[in-house]
Amino acid sequence: MTQESHVSQEPISLDRALASFTDQWSPRIVTTVNDYDVRIAKVEGDHLWHVHDDTDEFFLVLDGELHIGLREPAGERTVVLPKGSVFTVPRGTEHKPYAPVPTAILLLEPTGTLTVGDRHDEVPDHVDATTGHALT
């Protein structure tokens, strides 16, 4: 799919876009900005430990609450993002998102970035290893 197919000439309702799918941990591309995808996802439970070697990963919590475990040089810690919060995981930082309740997130990542990063634990069945799906 070409980048142009992700750019809409009309406003996109995030509520409608989120209502158009039910899959967990399977992001949909709502638009592109330069060489970046704007993705939305429904999440609940664990993702997996993974690393993006060459890119930061931006999270915005649209609804619910997201926890992100981080493995940093100083040790492990968890950041908690309530609705309306943003956080950027720096490139090269091993991290594991977890949602204790049904949660909707928006992600900003370079086009073609895998949801499971460049290095990762074994991918569980409930996690979609993808570069994002088009909205239908």
pLDDT tens profile 50-74: 999 999 999 999 999 999 999 999 9
Top-confidence residue, 58 or 118: 58
SS3 state of residue 24: strand
Question: What percentage of the chain reaches a pLDDT higher than 90?
Answer: 75
Output the six-digit token pair for 40. 């939305």
Q: Are the CB atoms for 94 and 75 separated by under 8 Å?
A: no
Pairwise CA distance, residues 128 & 118, whole Å = 14
The confidence band for 2, taking pLDDT boundaries of 50, 70 and 90, is: very low
Pairwise CA distance, residues 88 & 62, whole Å = 15
What top-level class would CATH report for the domain 3-130? mainly beta
pLDDT at 6: 64
